[in-house]
Amino acid sequence: MKLGGWARGQLALMFIIGLGSYIGLQILGIPYALPLAIITGIMEIIPFIGPTLSAVPAVIIGLGISPLMGLAVVAVYVLIQQLENSVFVPKVMQKSANVNPIITLLSLAIGFRLAGIVGLLVSVPVFITVRVFVNEFVFNRQQ
């Protein structure tokens, strides 16, 4: 049940980041804003690196319009990334998987330090699994 909450949280984050990208690209008048935003939302499944990689096509299109537009697209993606890392991920994981925002950030940092990108992908689900295991098998047997 807790891992299901994590999966729902990931889907919510994918939607939020995709929608934010779409709005930002539309405001800037970037062509193909919807497909670019969909790519950004899908790449959200890969923490930190996914949104950065998904910004590359949008930046190239922005640079095709003008250097200033390319810089504006970079600014939009940096803003979205900062909001995601400091606001969206901790709050969504707190609501969907009942994981404290500080624990979410710590598990992401530890996961990255131990296993790089793979560690980022699995750190929160591993934490949730260990927490459920400890609660079910360790604490319930002692009572």
Domain count, the chain: 1
Please write the tens of the pLDDT for every residue from 55-82: 999 999 999 999 999 999 999 999 998 8
Terminal-to-terminal C-alpha distance of the chain: 23
SS3 letters across 37-86:
HHHHHHHCCCCCHHHHHHHHHHHHHHHHHCHHHHHHHHHHHHHHHHHHHH
Contacts of 69 (CB under 8 A, 6+ apart): 28, 30, 62, 63
Range of the domain at 104: 2-142
State if pTM tops 0.75: no
pLDDT for residue 142 is more than 60: no
Contacts of 46 (CB under 8 A, 6+ apart): 53, 117, 120, 121
